[in-house]
Amino acid sequence: MTRFMDVHHDMKGITAEQLREAHQADLAIEKDEGVHFEKAWADPESGTVYCLSEAPSAEAVLRIHERTGNKADEIHPVPLTV
Amino acid sequence: MTRFMDVHHDMKGITAEQLREAHQADLAIEKDEGVHFEKAWADPESGTVYCLSEAPSAEAVLRIHERTGNKADEIHPVPLTV
């Protein structure tokens, strides 16, 4: 399992409720791909959302986000943490 | 206080030790600006580093990073978390 940070750039105006719903939708199906979404941070003004996950691959993360309608624009493995 | 995510794009090859040292350098002077760096995640392959902080302003975060020689390329307030 690797930790990943993915980034969405087109979520302008996202509300706390919408962020919570999107996260819940991901959590509901994440097991299909062996992914776990740990946390997400959003900037409604610029429309940027960062999602932290643990997963077997970047593709697994991207597939879950696509199925819930929240396609990520970027993803990076982040093996180092402090 | 607001939560911020800042991003560095030019840290290719960063090691766990270098990430730890950079984070420690920020922690050592963060109080000068009322900032607290909570966590950082790094991808040595693409050279991307994400730093999560709490601070009175984006400028305060950027000043600390600049003083420790780790200028950030982007910063966003992330008032929403899940």
φ/ψ of A44, rounded to 5, equals -60, -30
What confidence tens digit (pLDDT) does each residue in A18-72 have? 999 999 999 999 999 999 999 999 999 999 999 999 999 999 999 999 999 999 9
- Which residues share a beta bridge with A40? A51
Which residues of chain A from 17 to 76 reach within 8 Å of chain B, CB to CB? 19-20, 23, 39-46, 48, 50, 52, 76
> How many cross-chain Cβ pairs, A to B, lie less than 8 Å apart?
76
Helix (H, G, I), strand (E, B) or coil at A81: strand
Specify the pLDDT at position A73.
Answer: 98
E strand or H helix that includes residue A62? helix A58-67
Walk me through the domains of chain A, giving residue ranges and CATH numbers. 2-77 (3.30.70.3090)
Q: Alpha-carbon distance A71 to B50, whole Å?
A: 20
